[in-house]
Amino acid sequence: MPEDRPIPVADLDWSPDRARAFADRIVDLYTGYLESLPEAPAAPQVTPASARAALRMAVPDEPLSDDDICAHLQALLDLSTRPGSGGFLAYISGGGTVPGAISDLLASGLNANVGGWAISPAASEVEEQLVGWLAGRFGLPSSAGGMIVQGGSLANLTGLKLARDHAWPPGRTDGVGAGPPLAFYTSSESHFTIERAADVLGLGEASVRKVSVDADMRMRVDELERMIADDVAKGVRPAAVVATAGTTGTGAIDPLADVAAVASRHGVWFHVDAAYGGAVAVSDTLRPLLAGIELADSITFDAHKWLYAPLTTAFILVRDAALLNGSFSAHAAYVEQERDVIERGPDMGMEGLQLSRSFSALRVWVALLAHGRSAFARRIEHDVDLTSWLARRVEETPELEVACAPSLSICCFRYHPDGVSDEEYLDRLNMRLMTEIQADGEVFPSNAQVHERTALRSCIVTYRTEAVHLQILMDKALEIGARLHTGGTLVTP
């Protein structure tokens, strides 16, 4: 052997035995976490200072022992909010499926880069199959396709990039400044990522027209029609109508078929943000709630919301899959291939915003294999039932009132002491109530603005939530609400 040949450096190359020993320790931590969930509060008592004190450490030059690493990770778990706890009812954030979490080890272990088919043939196939299954549940035609992206924000951005290119095809090369003014239309209840997408796509946030909502927080179609007509008369080109299937605040579903009809009449791209509510497509019983979604040109769906998948696993589904390549393809010498010599599938890195892509499909796929679709459908239906139950209990309780009819798995309600009519005081009271219930930590709700009034909000996307957790939420609201109201903490009316 030549003298100058570098000797191997294998420090990072753990043997299978070493890998198993470490994995066993991590699995112990994970199963310990699962065991703790029924009794542990949804949120720990923690401050930025206590988190820093417990977790900050210098990056070591030499390895730590497994015992030291596990002690550190246990401290991390102890100081973590538990979105997997049944009492976690905030935002639209769940705990992730157990098979999903475990299969993430395999996905990261394999580390397939699903940007290129040649380096991820099996992973690309799994993702394609999953996309096809979802597109079928939404009722899209066989021309449909799509991919996983890192969250609903990017899915909305991708869908609206397709819409922009549809409305102004030279936009890709010449920019939006070279064309007519473009506009997006969405309800005042839609997610802020629609405006963010308009900004990123060069249209500017002001190009997003906010259509008002009806008493049930659904987009007013007459208003949509009027706004489009006004813009067209002024020379503005409508680029997309964005309906929401499950608004973030109250779970409202816009009248999808009616909105689609308006979009179609004006030849405008129809995007549905079903990041949250899209999950009901998995249930044959609830699927009719999404009637009209099959007319969409593009759909955002977050599996990490109500399909309970680990973060972040979102889908962008497109009626005509070929458009993705038209809007995102690129040429570079370092990814050239002789496709006439060797057969290969599509490179998903050329069909969307991300080039390198993780194998996120596996966590959804394995959970579907391990539980079966019906288990997801049953649980989603149960979440809807639990939410109706909560709304009924709230209605029966004198100091509580629902802020609007419950929709999907969201119920918004407020504490309203007898005889108080000052709405601003009630807003402050309910905002503080949310803060105090969160600080208490046993259950963890968030808030919503419903017709401009502040309400507590319970959103079930954790499959461990049961009536007992919702009862605790109501009990806390009554107990802490009474203390805040009578204790003079807030300026009284």
Ligand X SMILES: Cc1ncc(COP(=O)(O)O)c(C=O)c1O
Q: What is the largest CA-CA distance in the chain?
A: 92
Of 151 and 326, which CB lies nearer to ligand X in the complex structure? Answer: 151
Scanning 103-111, 146-154, 345-353, 476-484 for contacts with ligand X by CB under 6 A, the matching segment is: 146-154
Nearer to ligand X, 115 or 159 (CB): 159
State which residue, 249 or 481, has the beta carbon closest to ligand X: 249
Size of the site for ligand X (CB under 6 A): 14
Ranges within 91-120 binding ligand X (CB under 6 A): 92
The set of residues, in sequence order, having a beta carbon less than 8 Å from that of 96 and lying 6+ positions away, is: 83, 84, 304, 308, 309, 310, 311, 363
- Specify the DSSP element, H or E, that contains 146: strand 145-149
Q: Which residue is nearest to ligand X (CB)?
A: 152
CB of 219 to ligand X, least distance (A): 13
Task: Provide the mask over 179-198, with x wherever binding to ligand X is found by CB under 6 A and - wherever it is not.
Answer: ------------x-x-----
158 closest CA partner among 305, 335, 298, 322: 298
Dihedral sign from CA coordinates of 170, 175, 179, 185? positive
Rule CB under 6 A: choose which of 153, 207, 298, 430 binds ligand X. Answer: 153
Residue type, 442: E
Q: Which stretch binds ligand X (CB under 6 A): 110-118, 149-157, 373-381, 384-392?
A: 149-157
**Ramachandran angles phi, psi of 235, nearest 5°:** 85, 10
Task: Point out which span in 152-160, 264-272, 287-295, 382-390 binds ligand X (CB under 6 A).
Answer: 152-160
Considering just the CA atoms, what is the radius of gyration of the chain in Å?
A: 25
Task: Please report whether residue 152 would count as binding ligand X according to CB under 6 A.
Answer: yes
Q: Report how far residue 155's alpha carbon sits from residue 131's, in angstroms, rounded to the nearest whole number.
A: 13
The CB-of-254 to ligand X minimum distance in angstroms stands at 11
Any contact of residue 147 with ligand X (CB under 6 A)? Answer: no
Output the smallest distance, CB 24 to ligand X, in A: 33
- CA-based nearest residue to 341, from 128, 78, 118: 118
302 binds ligand X (CB under 6 A): yes
| Residues 305 to 334 in contact with ligand X, rule: CB under 6 A | 314
Binding to ligand X by CB under 6 A, coded x per residue (else -) over 54-93, reads --------------------------------------x-
Given the complex with ligand X, which of 196 and 428 has the nearer CB atom? 196
Smallest separation (angstroms) from ligand X to the CB of 135: 19
Question: Nearest CA to 371 among 31, 132, 102, 136?
Answer: 102
Rule CB under 6 A: is residue 124 a binding residue for ligand X?
no
Measured at the alpha carbon of residue 27, what is the angle toward residues 26 and 28, in degrees to the nearest 5? 90
For ligand X, the binding residue among 132, 139, 151, 181 (CB under 6 A) is: 151
CB closer to ligand X, 273 vs 347 = 273
Crossing angle of helices 361-371/98-110, nearest 10°? 140
Q: Which of residues 222-281 bind ligand X (CB under 6 A)?
A: 244, 248, 273, 275-276
Strand pairing category for 314-318 and 269-273: unpaired
Collapsed DSSP state (helix, strand, coil) of residue 300: strand
Residue-wise DSSP of 162-187 = HHHHHH-TTHHHH-GGGS--EEEEEE
Residues that bind ligand X (CB under 6 A): 92, 151-153, 156, 191, 193, 244, 248, 273, 275-276, 302, 314
